């Protein structure tokens, strides 16, 4: 998986090479890529936007007896977008090509077919509400891993209070269960190439943890991976084929990479240092506000939240965001690590 020469050493994103993909997107927080070039992005109107290889866009709204897609507020303020109604956040493909959704608005894990038919898989666990569902991930065995950022109401309390009530859950043939808890702002999760370790973003602790995956889905040997403080707020991440972990730092508006040797490489910086310094002061004091967050926004992928490797060679990077209306994309010197669905979409594309 690794070689003596890291292809990211000495490399950074050339802003002149960045191109924008899509138009009129609304909170494209998470992106799924298929081998034929099709992209699927979460959409705050309730569902996903499908972007075909030729650029044609189709909004696929969730349709069910219990959930009615709502028009999103006119404001693009990320905090206003999470006030009630459906709000698809994390996305993953299941084995049949349906889309699993962590819905940040309904606090549920949902399943949507490609034509929009939706149903709730789970909205409770151990007899209690799930909490603020954030992200979903499927593995090679078809199991669904998911994260809950917090169970506090309103969820924004967890930012200033740095509450360690986030958790990782698993859905398999036995049902739903919590497999690890005590995280500070649980966000995205990823598996390594051999699915031996599960990596967990703890946004409000500004760190990444990892846990060893046992055959039954239980998690052990929890440890911090990389620095104990990333120097900002990690949100989304993805492995490349060399073993580098690419990480978006939301509010810093940076894309960095954590090498297997523990180095931090800055790949793209679109931040506002003064605004971020003000936010950090309030974060330490527990007095952050949405206005402070908004002032930190960059211009390429405002409130940079995620990244996805795509293209037939997995060398095209797409950046997801909370405040953007397009996807910033660029070419990488190293391919991304294929996700569990990639071989299926590769076969269907050939």
337: pLDDT strictly greater than 70: yes
For the beta carbon of residue 25, count every other beta carbon within 10 angstroms: 23
pLDDT tens-digit series, residues 78-133: 443 434 489 999 999 999 999 999 999 999 999 999 999 999 999 999 999 999 99
At 71, the pLDDT band (50, 70, 90 cuts) reads very low
Helix, strand, or coil (residue 31)? strand
Q: What is the mean pLDDT of residues 23-48?
A: 97
Rounded Cα gap, residues 329 and 273, in angstroms: 23
What tokens appear for 34 in the block?
């298929």
Band of pLDDT at residue 343, cut at 50, 70 and 90: confident
Contact 133, 110 (CB under 8 A): no
**Reported confidence tier of residue 75, pLDDT bands at 50, 70, 90:** very low
DSSP summary character for residue 65:
S
More confident call, 167 vs 348: 167
**Mean of the pLDDT values across residues 272-299?**
97
pLDDT for res 55? 97
pLDDT at position 4: 65
The β-bridge partners of 63 are 117
Three-state DSSP class for residue 205: helix
User: Of the candidates 153, 157, 180, which has an alpha carbon nearest to the alpha carbon of residue 167?
Assistant: 180
- Which of 142, 209, 219 is closest to 178 using CA atoms? 219
* Strand segments (E) across 29-165: 31-33, 39-43, 47-51, 57-61, 88-93, 99-103, 108-112, 118-122, 124-125, 128-129, 133-138, 144-148
CB atoms within 10 A of CB 276: 21
pLDDT at 164: 98
Report the C-alpha gap between 320 and 322 in whole angstroms. Answer: 7
% of the chain residues with pLDDT over 90: 90
Contacts with 291 (C-beta within 8 Å, 6 or more apart), sequence order? none
- Are 270 and 18 in contact by the 8 Å Cβ rule? The answer is no
Instruction: State residue 349's pLDDT score.
Output: 63
Query: In a 3-state reduction of DSSP, which class is residue 131?
Result: coil
> For the residues 301-318, what does the mean pLDDT come to?
98
What are the pLDDT digits (tens) for 201-242? 999 999 999 999 999 999 999 999 999 999 999 999 999 999
Q: Does residue 68 carry a pLDDT above 50?
A: no
Q: How far apart are the first and last CA of the chain?
A: 25
Three-state SS for 317? Answer: strand
Cα–Cα distance measured from residue 333 to residue 315, given in angstroms and rounded to the nearest whole number: 7
* Domain regions of the chain by residue span: 23-349
Residue 298, token pair as written in the block:
């960059």
This prediction has a pTM of: 0.93
Closest by alpha carbon to 317, among 6, 44, 8? Answer: 8
Q: Give the Cα separation of 59 and 61 in Å (integer).
A: 6
Q: Is the link from the previous residue into 154 a cis peptide, with omega within 30 of 0?
A: yes
Residue with tokens 């309730």: 46
pLDDT tens, position by position, 126-160: 999 999 999 999 999 999 999 999 999 999 999 99
Predicted local distance difference test score (pLDDT) of residue 85: 86
What is the separation of C-alpha 113 from the centre of its chain, rounded to a whole number of angstroms?
20
pLDDT at residue 253, as a whole number: 98
Euclidean distance between CA atoms 237 and 256, whole angstroms:
9
CATH 3.40.50.300 fits 23-349, yes or no: no
CA 78/CA 201 separation, integer angstroms = 20
Query: Which residues are bridge partners to 212 per DSSP?
Result: 197, 220
Given a cut of 70, whether residue 312 has pLDDT beyond it is yes
The pLDDT, as a whole number, for residue 348 is: 66
DSSP 336: B
Q: What is the CA radius of gyration of the chain?
A: 18
């Amino acid at each position: 998986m690794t070689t003596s020469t890291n292809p990211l050493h000495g490399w950074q994103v050339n802003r002149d090479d960045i191109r924008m993909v899509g138009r009129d997107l609304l909170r494209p927080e998470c992106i799924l890529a298929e081998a034929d070039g099709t992209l699927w992005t979460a959409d705050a109107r309730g569902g996903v936007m499908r972007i075909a290889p030729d650029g044609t866009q189709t909004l696929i709204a969730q349709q069910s007896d219990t959930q009615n897609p709502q028009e999103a507020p006119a404001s693009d303020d990320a905090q206003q977008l999470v006030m009630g109604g459906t709000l698809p956040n994390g996305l993953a493909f299941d084995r049949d090509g349906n889309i699993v959704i962590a819905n940040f608005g309904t606090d549920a894990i949902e399943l949507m077919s490609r034509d929009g038919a939706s149903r709730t898989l789970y909205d409770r666990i151990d007899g209690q509400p799930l909490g603020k569902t954030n992200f979903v991930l499927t593995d090679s065995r078809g199991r669904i891993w998911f994260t809950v950022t917090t169970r506090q109401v309103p969820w924004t309390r967890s930012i200033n209070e740095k509450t360690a009530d986030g958790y990782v859950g698993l859905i398999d043939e036995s049902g739903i269960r919590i497999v690890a808890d005590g995280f500070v702002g649980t966000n995205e999760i990823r598996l390594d190439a051999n699915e031996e370790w599960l990596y967990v973003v703890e946004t409000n602790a500004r760190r990444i943890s990892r846990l060893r995956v046992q055959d039954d889905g239980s998690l052990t040997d929890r440890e911090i991976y990389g620095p104990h403080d990333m120097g900002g707020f990690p949100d989304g991440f993805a492995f490349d084929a060399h073993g580098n972990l690419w990480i978006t730092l939301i509010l810093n508006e940076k894309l960095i990479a954590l090498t297997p040797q523990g180095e931090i490489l800055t790949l793209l910086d679109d931040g506002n240092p003064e605004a971020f310094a003000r936010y950090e002061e309030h974060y330490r004091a527990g007095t952050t506000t949405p206005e402070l967050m908004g002032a930190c926004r960059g211009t390429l992928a405002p409130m940079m939240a995620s990244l996805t490797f795509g293209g037939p060679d997995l060398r095209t990077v797409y950046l997801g965001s909370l405040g953007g209306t397009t996807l910033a994309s660029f070419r990488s010197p190293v391919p991304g690590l294929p996700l569990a669905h990639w071989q299926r979409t590769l076969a269907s594309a050939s």
